[in-house]
Structure 1
């Protein structure tokens, strides 16, 4: 099991050291779902697997941003696996807090304010984060869904400014103001986001075997 998703690694260390592999039981935190569907006349097996990283974990608002090593808070990897006619296709997406140093000061207000910490370090932390993602997954499309205005707007500006120097063919950044465009019910408007990223999705597609 990949160490960053292994939640009982400490307990397994003595077993690994003594080569008691038959007793190893890796534990992840996440979800698993498998369904059988039909697309036209074709039968398709669809599996969804999500697993949460063990680094920089915490509850919402109390754990934000990334640490100095570039590990984003509450990072989750989700994989969609489709199988049909002996072929297997996989698509992976990840989510996490904006990968630079910031925090949210929790108080009695409905929306606690944000505080960007050590702004001068944002480009370095963000570059380390995306270097790690590209090393593990290849090309990356970063989709930023926060509001354009208010406190989230300040975070968006810092994110966009910090990521700009490292953008390339293999690293793209797209901002989409989800709440302004979709509100609470108009999810069909996500087609506007798709129009912005469809060329990237078509280029990279699924990993097939």
Structure 2
């Protein structure tokens, strides 16, 4: 802060300008580094007691809930929002993998002898621009899971892990207990490994 600036020229910590300034002031006019305000949970001069600091932190949380912050690059989303978006994308990707597997089954149905299946499957994979091995895996999982037996809450990868399990249709209906009560890849692998599936 230059010698010509006054405390009135320094942005308030709670203001939009104060969120990016290096030096900010509290509502009583105390000046400090913005980082200090954030670490302490308020003004380091006004908030001397832990109770006051907790109150300042709670006020900050309430202010952020009422008026979400914005960044030009959009990287200020909460972890929960990012996880939800990733989950949505993974579900769409799983639907695509099942759809490709279903199409691969139409092009090259599974038979006891796989030698005749490989040529049309490879040609189809090349036409789609994906690897024959990936398409073969999609086909194998789609064959193991008829459409009416698939669980929309469970990822394609988990369906793939359970694809060889003899009781997979019953198993998929009974996820492990927990906050979300859904199968994850980790819990599915553990179930297959320990034979509890």
User: Which has the larger strand fraction?
Assistant: 1
Q: TM-score range by the shorter chain?
A: under 0.3
User: Which has the larger helix fraction?
Assistant: 2
TM-score calculated relative to the size of structure 1: 0.24
TM-score calculated relative to the size of structure 2: 0.25
Greater relative CO (CA pairs within 8 A, separation 6+): 1
Q: Give the number of the structure whose alpha-carbon radius of gyration is greater.
A: 2
